[in-house]
Amino acid sequence: IAGSYAEMVSVVHIVGTLPTASQASGAILHHTLGNGDFLVFANMYKEVTIAHTNLTKTNAIEEIDRVLNECLNKSRPAYIGLAVDLSDHEINVDPLSIEPLKRSLVRNPRDVH
């Protein structure tokens, strides 16, 4: 029904990327299209996602929260890049500081015929 509220599905694309040392060295690898730019694919996703990030040891908590909130509240896709050497990195979070994701219903766009 045009103008009604409905729950839409949000998609979060989590992508494994090369180790941070390879990225920092600017190694010419196939993941860069041969130009040393490890963000080339992440930059392509900027055109079709509401939020995107490449996680680091220092930004993971804030960036995961930011991207998930944007994705879920606007019911649009999101992109998270995670270097393989960070996949087992532990993050200490105070359980009392964890807040539920802020959710709101997204208004459906008008019917277009």
Give residue 89's pLDDT: 86
Give residue 10's pLDDT: 83
Q: How confident is the model at residue 8 (pLDDT cuts 50, 70, 90)?
A: low
Cα gap 5→19, rounded to integer Å = 43
Q: Is the pLDDT of residue 104 over 50?
A: yes
CATH superfamily for domain 1-83 = Thiamin diphosphate (ThDP)-binding fold, Pyr/PP domains (3.40.50.970)
Give residue 1's pLDDT: 44
Flag the least confident range among 13-27, 72-86, 88-102: 88-102
In whole angstroms, what separates CA 74 from the centre of its chain?
14
Contact 104, 10 (CB under 8 A): no
Pairing, β 51-54 against β 78-83 = parallel
